[in-house]
Amino acid sequence: MQAFTIQGVIMAYRGFCSLSLTHTHTLSLSYLGEVVGSGGQRWELQLKGSGRTPYSRFADGRKLLRSSIREFLCSEAMHYLEIPTTRAGSCITSDDTVTRDILYSGNPIQERCTVITRIAPTFIRFGSFEIFKARDRETGVTQSYYPQVHIQEPEDRRARTALFFRDLCVRTAHLVSAWQCVGFCH
């Protein structure tokens, strides 16, 4: 059996946190890439909790069994409620442990680490465009970095970008309204 190594990519994004514009990053996510199914459907793959990333700062990039089970169950529930979401492809727990203070009471305990494989048609988010805004105010870098989502009509780049933005807003409004229908808050 031949061993192999996968080199993940880390996705940076920018957005608002507590009403302040911040550089936000996927602290514990490694982007593995995209696979195309036999029917042509594209799926992107991520590992969550696999360890430190360049954006982990002082964190260890590990996830716990309890929070991983919650994410796995919630993502599947959202899927079966027909609400667009990431899917949990696997949830693997190791014998590795990390120290966490569950109740922030000064009584940390050792907890087992878990890695989730996340699957989605895309992991692109608003912040994926926001982070490049200063460099490319017209297109949000869709043409260079996200050609698969670049709307082909009309010829004018600004009109094309406006159509893309409108579609993005409509999809987001439908998503958030579906969340509210089931009492979910992000």
Query: Could you report the per-residue pLDDT of 60-96, keeping only the tens digit for each?
Result: 888 999 999 999 999 999 999 999 888 999 999 999 9
Task: Fill in the DSSP letter of residue 102.
Answer: T
Give the closest residue to 146 by CA, choosing from 42, 21, 23, 2: 42
pTM as predicted: 0.71
Determine the Cα–Cα distance for residues 153 and 178; give it in Å rounded to an integer: 29
The answer to whether the beta carbons of residues 64 and 111 sit under 8 Å apart is: yes
pLDDT of 87:
93
Domain residue limits, the chain = 8-123, 132-186
For the chain, give the percent of residues with pLDDT over 90: 31
Of 108-112, 120-124, 151-155, 164-168, the least confident:
151-155
Mean of all residue pLDDT scores within the chain: 78
Q: Which of 13-17, 65-69, 122-126, 157-161 holds the top average pLDDT?
A: 65-69
Task: Please give the sequence-ordered ranges of beta strands (E in DSSP) within 66-178, or none if there are none.
Answer: 87-100, 109-120
pLDDT of 54:
72
Average pLDDT on 22-50 reads 80
| Share of the chain residues as helix, strand and coil, in percent rounded to the nearest 5 | 30, 30, 40
Which helix or strand (DSSP H or E) is residue 20 part of? strand 20-25
C-alpha distances out from residue 126 to 104, 132, 161, Å: 32, 11, 14
Encoding tokens for residue 112? 């087992």
Average pLDDT on 102-109 reads 92
pLDDT of 18:
55
Q: What is the pLDDT of residues 145-155, one digit of tens each?
A: 555 555 556 56
C-alpha distances out from residue 131 to 8, 21, 23, Å: 20, 10, 8
The answer to whether the beta carbons of residues 110 and 101 sit under 8 Å apart is: no
Average pLDDT on 161-183 reads 86
- 150 class by beta-carbon count within 10 Å (0-12 exposed, 13-18 middle, 19+ buried): middle
